[in-house]
Structure 1
């Protein structure tokens, strides 16, 4: 079978105009939309495998008792990939063949999280309900958005998200309720965004920066800043009952975003609407004046 070319990355633009509000923003999607594979696959998979090989303790972790769920997720992925992308993957004889890079992954492996981490561009977190709370109990997390797996593993989601402004008051109960009621076979997706001054995919730190960033100016913000979007997915493993929280990272130069008609104005309104605590959490404060000046200029140009 001939191998179809990898498509360009999707450009997600989830920032909203109007008054700021904390919302889950979940959408049900069909099975075929579980994962996103695009032209950035070769570079991202090389980086994921490098991190697993050289910084494993930072990107792979799991609590005892999650072994069956890890294997179940690997088996689910091995069934999904050839069905969804038959030109790129094939599975036979307990081996998943990756035609995109010529590798073969045995499905009977003592290290399923590392195997998962080196197969697709998504990160995967395992969530388990314990004593009425949802806990993070395992992950292959190669591209964290400024948080450390070792600091969060084993904690309930309320504590995992403790640094997020307004989460405890506005989102914790809806999130726990949604995850607790999620049925096998249902797949839900949401998007989260930030503008940052670092295009690196692996970012375990950096939240809450407030010191001035003199290197970012209105003149270079388009090339110095990026839009970082998390496409988050949720589904339940039917046998173990754990929930798989997927995170796919998209990083786009800001100039590419503001070149689209109306996007500079939309982003400007979204940045202005952020409460101070959220702007600080997103680490916008060091370059917020330069960003707004840049967006003002782009809006004046018709962006």
Structure 2
């Protein structure tokens, strides 16, 4: 299979500068929605393993979400031209076994969008239990200027999303280690600080979320997908095309972004690595 992204890392949002807290959506072709990429097998296998071993931790649903889940499963099946496995599970969990992406169904009730079901096998510092049933405002309270500004902007996008439109956006951060299942970043940060800057620097990774949204036209919901790409930082920093940009993105992040991402715990290790690479 020919990869759309022959080089690592496959996604490079840091080329656009430091992390930003805005919607930042880009319209893409439907054929690009769940296209194969270098993370497909790793993300798919990881999701299946998590559903097998820790189902109650990674899958949650609220009453009344079954129809939207079934529509989401059918949409994934159509995009991949495959049939979801008969796993004796809710439809969204079955769909998660087909893709490398975590899947979240959002539905609107009394004018508010909330999380109705999610298969969250590779969360970036939040959990399925935390997110289920929350409104957009509730989900974005911790984000700098997230509620009501960012949550309101996202609600506007959801309300006006055309049935045939697919949108994509990216988030990025720096993570200690290569764990995909990270509902809590505290243990990783503690490990990094315990090791000390020099040893921790060798285990720093770029963690990128590729997010997409699509309307569920029959039920009126929205399917939100999250694909994770994890890559060691050292090769990225050694590459002249990416090293300077990532260093600038790290150092140029606003104070509120650094606090939100808890980068202070990785500061010494990251600076050690940057200096080692003459950045």
Asked whether the two chains share a fold, i.e. TM above 0.5, the reply is yes
**Runs of at least 4 residues of structure 1 off by over 4 A?**
5-10, 16-21, 207-212
1:213–1:286 CA contact under 8 A, matched in 2: yes
Matched, 1:213 2:212: no
- Separation in structure 2 between the aligned mates of residue 161 and residue 245 of structure 1, nearest angstrom: 15
CA positional deviation for 1:159: 0.7
Q: Which has the higher helix share?
A: 2
Q: Secondary structure at the match of 2:14?
A: coil
The alpha-carbon distance between structure 1 residues 228 and 106, as it changes in their structure 2 partners (threshold 3 A), is same
Q: Number of residues paired by the alignment?
A: 276
Q: TM-score, normalised by structure 1?
A: 0.82
1:219–1:294 CA contact under 8 A, matched in 2: no
- Separation in structure 2 between the aligned mates of residue 18 and residue 48 of structure 1, nearest angstrom: 30
- Separation in structure 1 between the aligned mates of residue 17 and residue 58 of structure 2, nearest angstrom: 37
CA positional deviation for 1:140: 1.1
Matched, 1:235 2:236: no
Structure 1's unaligned 5+ residue stretches are 83-90, 97-103
- Separation in structure 2 between the aligned mates of residue 20 and residue 267 of structure 1, nearest angstrom: 11
Matched, 1:248 2:227: yes
Name the larger-Rg structure: 1
Question: 1:162-201: per-residue Cα shift (whole Å, max 9, x none)?
Answer: 1222212541221111111111100000000000102111
- Separation in structure 2 between the aligned mates of residue 113 and residue 194 of structure 1, nearest angstrom: 27
Q: TM-score, normalised by structure 2?
A: 0.88
CA positional deviation for 1:18: 6.0
CA positional deviation for 1:75: 1.2
1:216–1:287 CA contact under 8 A, matched in 2: no
- Separation in structure 2 between the aligned mates of residue 273 and residue 208 of structure 1, nearest angstrom: 26
1:69–1:240 CA contact under 8 A, matched in 2: yes
- Tell me what 2:57 maps to: 58
Matched, 1:190 2:189: no
CA RMSD in angstroms, aligned pairs only = 2.6
CA positional deviation for 1:266: 1.5
- Tell me what 2:252 maps to: 273
- Separation in structure 1 between the aligned mates of residue 193 and residue 35 of structure 2, nearest angstrom: 33
Structure 2's unaligned 5+ residue stretches are none
Matched, 1:225 2:224: no
1:28–1:187 CA contact under 8 A, matched in 2: yes
